[in-house]
Each structure stands twice: as structure tokens, then as C-alpha cells.
Structure 1
């Protein structure tokens, strides 16, 4: 591998890495850039991955704390996944989904349906999470048009939500700053409060907070009219919003209200599906709900190939088939819908999850959560929260007010920089550090991860005190 890189660049690994950095600054537009550096920046170069580890451009080995982007569920460098990509590409690299089909996509749909809750029995494939959410929303619009309800199109979303970067999906986002400079379909979206117990009103217990959220949900439906609301879209755990776990029973209560008001419940499991919470789908197994649709991506291929999709209720499809508009067309599709290579990879990935990884993830998750919880001993840490193998360490100026540090964005970045030096990649989100390692992580590796994160936070506290930015 090193010889190949040297042949391509005319130098060794270090020189190749520097070439990549300079090339990125000249030609590569990174995702989520700032206007002042757009098209002129280079980010940390990653050269290799192996198991739960990655190696950066300087040859430093790091624990992959975010598992790529919540997605490297079975770990890096799984030879069986690489082999199935090669084998499928040599057999059939692509077919148009407009008027042909392939066997891997059909078999994967069957196996996904077997794991899905309720009557979710059919799969529409996309290229990732954003396009999966976009597809679910467009299907809701089509469904209501065919049923003669063109006014039933509003979408309920929540503060703290993240549903993607395509236009309609991004319009649902409720994280700070996501929409500061971006347009969206604001006329179609109704925002509700974040289900974040950590930031509930002072003096209110969690049960009362859940009641407040449910009452708000009912009140908004009554105010707007159920006849105008097409769907509620929610992550079982708000992932990129800071690993927000809703109060116990909240999702079941929201599901019941949606059913009573003929509002489609779309569970966005782009992050939580395929093992992150120990099951293929968390909606039914963890939260006891049966949505009308589930969106997925990321872990379906463990990040080895871009693939996503929507699992759709048989009831919805049957209602369309029984409608008075049999010629109505769902004019939606993607060039790479049902990609044979992606579906073949997903099938092998599902084998690995079922045979070895899901049980391990369930077994190790309590240890992961307990070890991270010890970081609440540090005065900079306001709360450690999580479920399964996803967690967030939220830093605050003081625990009484729960205010984020004035440094805001820089706090997570500072912690990440220290952790990088110590051998851990962290995902910084403003004043939070998100951890979602590969599901294959061992207890010993969890100990290493937590020890590095503790030291990174401690060094950050020292920096802030020295600079006069924090007195904790």
C-alpha cells in the first residue's frame, strides 16, 4: 500500500500526506465550511483504519471515537466487506432501477423487513440519510395527494433535531446555527421544543417535563388542525443535537397522538439503526413504538458504501393500491437507488452484526456508559448522557445555570485537539464531545478512551484557567 502511494506521489508517506493537504486547500470544498475559509482549508488527514483505530497523516494512531460519522459499526478493515464489494462489482457493478432490478436489493429488503417493527414491510433505497428523510417526506406528500388531502402536508419537528442536508430534510433541523445562513421550507415545518431533560425548566421534574412536551404536541395539533399536518419526524435519540434521550414513555405517547390524528410517525433511525443501540432497529426493540416509516443509513453498510433507505408500512402501500388514482406516479428516484454493490455490502454487514456484533454491543454498552459517567467528577462537565454505544459529554460554565461556556464553539475543539495528541479522535459539537465508537470496542479499549478523554478535558480546564476564561 505504501509503495502504491509512493508511486502515485513521487515520494513517501509523509510527502504524500503533505501533497494531499495542499491539494485540498487548492481544490476541495469541505462540508459545513465557514465563509472565511471555504475552499481554502485542509482538515485532519486520515490515512488508514484498522478495527476501532485510525491513523492520521502524521502516522499517529487514534481511537476512532465517532466511528467515522456514527457509521463504522463493525470496525475498519473488515476483509469480508472489501471482498464482497469486489465480488459484486465483478458480477454486476450497476443496473438502472427505473426498469430493471438486482437480487441483492430484493434480499436485503426482505431481511430489513424481518427486523422492522409492526407492519413495516417494504424498503425504498437511497444514497444516505439526508436522501432517506427527503424520500420519506416526499412519500408523505404523495400519499396525501393520492388520498385527496393536498392540504395535509405540514411537518412537525423539534428543537435539537438533525435530519440532513438536503433541502426539505434540512428544513427540519433544530440545532443552534444550522439555519443561521441557510434557506429552508419554513412554510412546511412546525417546530416543537427539544425533549432534552437536562435543560428542562428549573424546578420541574422529568415526569412533569414529559407531560409538558406531550401537552405542547397536543396543543399545536389543536391550534393548526390535524387535517393540515402530514407527519411528525423524530430521532429516537437526537444524535447530532447532543445525544438527547427523551423522557421515558414520551415517544409512545407521541406515537399514540399521531395515530389518533392520522399523522404519520416517521422515526429517523439514520444513527440509531443497525446496532448503535444494540439492535437492527431501536424503535420497537428499545422504545416500544411501531412507526409508519423508519429512515436508515450509516450503519447499514458500516460506512463501507453509501446506502440509506426508508422502511414503509404495508398499511400505507395498501391504501395507495386501493385508491381511486391507480395511475398516480410517485415521481421520485435516484440514479443509485438499490445499488447492487451497496446492497451486497449491506447483506454481509448484516451477517456480521447478527452473528457477532449486536450481542457484543448490548453486553458492553452498560460498561461504556458507566465509565463515561465518571467524567462528571470534572467541574467542567455538566452532564454525561447516552444509551447503547452513543454518548455525549456536555461542558458548562457552571452546573447551577447550565450555561455553555462563553468560549462556546472552541471548548469542544480544544478538548478534541488535546485528545488528538493523546490518541483519541473526538467529535466536538460546540460545548459538547460526542462519542460513538465502533461497536466492536472492548472494555479495555473503553478504559483507554475514557482515560484519554478525561486527560483532554483536564488539560482544557487548565488552559481556560490560565487564559482567564473560566474560574471553575
Structure 2
């Protein structure tokens, strides 16, 4: 891509004094030069205001799966806006793009997940899933079933209920919906295994679920929500068989299973949906966002089973849930174009090979003294740094090791996401082999640079 455009940031940075950025140290952002200004993007790369070409190692934010500047998606959005810029899907109104995308998602989703409710973000989709299930149990005459089971280490969004379902550390100093959510043990064997075998650790996790259900009462629990691989909690992959066993216990106790596939869907793990294809689980609800449009438009969906929909659509009640922009025409058009592109280019199938190459390159970094664990799958990876590899001693938070490695990587041309002592990589799914290998090379050089100074 040629950067033949005005990338001056004088006005941008002046205006930025009014912008409240998300998930940021707002005090630090008051300092000059604290921001990276991204001005353009193409394929697997972004360009900053200094003219630097950077590998987009975070895929925008877990979401630009099909890559940047894809004409197929841009043209679909433009054409839709020229035809129908906006109309609501409230009441008895609908429009072709929303109906067509709902049909396509039902076709791709596993099993009897055939009913789709649109929203604008993953937080909305997860909030909506719980709200719909509360109504579902009310309609069944079981109004006590309201509690939600989540997990330490989970991330399910930033709204008042979604942040309550998220691991407690993300709401420190902030309020959240109290009393509804109970957090189960984190399924991170490397950190939480405590000398157990992986099979023993799995048994302990299942016992924790059973004990929690017994303590709260299955008659009071509406649902259990889980990411197939935890994302913002540190890219945590649970033990083999964990999701199948957890789902079976939920099913035995009439607890609905929500799979939060906001990150894992649309090719990141090599399939359009990961729950059944990768982990062997048939959820009652799947929530999606991010990759459904590759980030080109804000769009999310709560995909319901036929059985849940049959109850909430039965005579005698109204579906009092929805947002103004649910199923926005341009967002739906972007989703259809994105999925069409992924199918025609066989992107999920290609990820089963290219993603393994990316994963292998990062796992090879495990020979570095500062690297405690490399974990994840395909294009969803995390690297945890430790002071002492033998006993997994972490660096102190004030040492900012993850941030220092991310800064060193950015100097070399790779954007990565720091999370305390962890570095997260979730790039676009369209990198060629040379770019994939360059990521691993940059990270090796960057980790070595930081290790020499900590």
C-alpha cells in the first residue's frame, strides 16, 4: 500500500485531549507522545502517523479477521448505504440484509441454533443472552432461576452485567451488578494445577462446579457462560475434555450453556464456530461480535436454540428486548460480505495450516529464560513472562514487563497487546508465511532486549 495521503496529526492530537479512551491509563495518556496514532491499514498491516508500517498483531482488537481494506466488504457497506441507510428491526419491521445474515448465521451455527437476535457489541450480546434466559425461565414458571455461573479469568464485556460476569479483577474500583454472578475456578492448569496431574485438575474443576450448584441450588441457576479459550483473561486454554464435561453437568441440572464466541468464532481457531468443531460442545446459546464483520461495522448476535425461541415466542407475552441499531443494514451487509469472502477464500480452512505455523513459531520462544508459558491455539496466543522459570515467579506489576516487550516489538514493526506480565497476539488471519515468521523473529529480539534490562 502506498501511504500517499496526509498523515499530519497536529489537529488529531489537539482533538485527542477530548477523547476518553477505553481500557487505558487515562493519567498516562495526558503525557505528550503517549498515544500511537493509526492512520491507515491494508491487509495484515497498519500504518502510524510517523509513516511506520506495522504488522497488526492484535487484529484491531481480536476482530479484523479478513484483513484490512477489503474492497468486498467496503463496497457492500457502501452499496447498502446508498440503498437503505437505516431502518429498525423493531416491532413488525425488517429488512433484507438482517434477514439474510440471520439465515446465514443459522446455517453456520452448530445444531439447532437457528434463531438470531442482533445487537451492537459482545457486551450487548452477552447481556442479552442472560436477559433472554431470565425471561425464558419466567415463561416456564420458574422465576427463581436467575443466577449466572462464570469463571475467574473470564472476560464477557464492559456493561454493568457483562462486567459482573467478567473476572473480578477487571472491575476493581468500579461497581457492577451484584448478587447475580458466581465465579468458578479458573481452568488454567499451568498456574492453578498445584502439583496435580491435568486429569486430577480437571476433576477438581468439575467438583467445583458440582459443589457450587449444590450450594446455590440448581433451581436458582439460569446459565453458565464460558469462552472456549479465555481471551482478555490471558489466553487460557482449559484441560482436554473440560468443556464437554462442564456442559454435561449443566445439562443434568437444567442449566443453560452459553458459549461466548466473540473472539473464537469466524476463523480464529480454523472454523466459523469453535464450540462444537474444536471442543465438542453443543451450546444452548452462542454469542458473537468482532469477527462477524471483521470489525468493519459494529455488529453482534445472540444465537438461540429453537427450544429457547419457542418458549420466548409462545403466546401471551412480548419480547421486551432490543436496541435501536439491532441488525443495522450496513452492519448486516458487512457481515454477509465478510462471511462470503471467508467462504470463497477458504480462510478458516487456511487457518488450520497457517495458524499452526504461527502457533509453532511462538511456542519456540519457550526456550527463552523469561518465557514461562506460551499458550493458546492458532491465531489466538499468549506469552507469559516470569522472573524465575523453575518456580514460575512472576515479575512485579510495576516492572511493566509485558508493556516493555510490546514497546520493543512495536519499534521493530509489530503491534502486540500487553496484559501485565502477558503479551497477547491475535493478528489478522491473512498473513503470509513470511509475515508469520517475522512475528516470531521480532518477538524473540524484543524479549531478549527486555530480558537484558530487567
Q: TM-score, normalised by structure 2?
A: 0.96
Deviates more, 1:266-275 or 1:311-320: 311-320
Q: Which residue of 1 aligns with 2:330?
A: 341
1:174 aligns to 2:167 (yes or no): yes
Q: Which residue of 1 aligns with 2:156?
A: 163
Number of corresponding residues: 451
Q: How does 1:274-313 map to 2 (within 5 A)?
A: 274-313=266-305
Residue 4 (structure 1) shift: 10
**How far apart, CA to CA, are the structure 2 residues paired with 1:417 and 1:112?**
38
From 14, 20, 24, give the equivalent of 1:29.
20
Residue 360 (structure 1) shift: 1.2
Residue 88 (structure 1) shift: 0.4
SS of the residue 2:127 aligns to: helix
Q: Which residue of 1 aligns with 2:12?
A: 20
Quickly say closer, same or farther: Cα 1:35–1:60, change in 2 above 3 A. closer
Q: Which residue of 1 aligns with 2:176?
A: 184
Q: How does 1:343-422 map to 2 (within 5 A)?
A: 343-356=332-345, 357-407=347-397, 410-422=400-412
For residues 200-238 of structure 1, give each alpha carbon's deviation from its aligned partner in whole angstroms, at most 9, with x where no partner exists.
Answer: 233211111011000110111011100000010100000
Residue 400 (structure 1) shift: 2.6
* Matched-pair contact (CA < 8 Å) for 1:161–1:238: yes
Residue 130 (structure 1) shift: 0.7
1:434 aligns to 2:414 (yes or no): no
Residue 398 (structure 1) shift: 1.2
From 100, 108, 118, give the equivalent of 2:101.
108
**How far apart, CA to CA, are the structure 2 residues paired with 1:4 and 1:334?**
39
For residues 1-29 of structure 1, give each alpha carbon's deviation from its aligned partner in whole angstroms, at most 9, with x where no partner exists.
Answer: 999965xxxxxx3xx213212320x2111
**How far apart, CA to CA, are the structure 2 residues paired with 1:455 and 1:72?**
26
**How far apart, CA to CA, are the structure 1 residues paired with 2:82 and 2:193?**
58
For residues 349-383 of structure 1, give each alpha carbon's deviation from its aligned partner in whole angstroms, at most 9, with x where no partner exists.
Answer: 00111121112111212211111111011101001
Task: Please report the RMSD computed on the Cα atoms of aligned residues, expressed in angstroms.
Answer: 1.8
**How far apart, CA to CA, are the structure 2 residues paired with 1:18 and 1:419?**
26
**How far apart, CA to CA, are the structure 2 residues paired with 1:270 and 1:440?**
19
For residues 304-363 of structure 1, give each alpha carbon's deviation from its aligned partner in whole angstroms, at most 9, with x where no partner exists.
Answer: 0000011000011223345xxx23222111110011111011101001111211121112
Quickly say closer, same or farther: Cα 1:46–1:321, change in 2 above 3 A. closer
Residue 33 (structure 1) shift: 3.3
For residues 236-265 of structure 1, give each alpha carbon's deviation from its aligned partner in whole angstroms, at most 9, with x where no partner exists.
Answer: 000111110010111001111111111010
SS of the residue 2:439 aligns to: helix
Residue 38 (structure 1) shift: 7.1
Ranges of 4+ aligned residues in structure 1 off by more than 6 Å: 1-5, 38-41
SS of the residue 1:286 aligns to: helix
Residue 65 (structure 1) shift: 0.4
Instruction: In structure 1, list runs of 5 or more residues that go unmatched.
Output: 7-12, 465-472
* Matched-pair contact (CA < 8 Å) for 1:147–1:320: no
SS of the residue 1:434 aligns to: strand
Q: Which residue of 1 aligns with 2:435?
A: 445
* Matched-pair contact (CA < 8 Å) for 2:417–2:423: yes
1:117 aligns to 2:144 (yes or no): no
**How far apart, CA to CA, are the structure 1 residues paired with 2:112 and 2:174?**
37
**How far apart, CA to CA, are the structure 2 residues paired with 1:5 and 1:447?**
30
SS of the residue 1:187 aligns to: coil
* Matched-pair contact (CA < 8 Å) for 2:135–2:312: no
**How far apart, CA to CA, are the structure 1 residues paired with 2:72 and 2:111?**
32
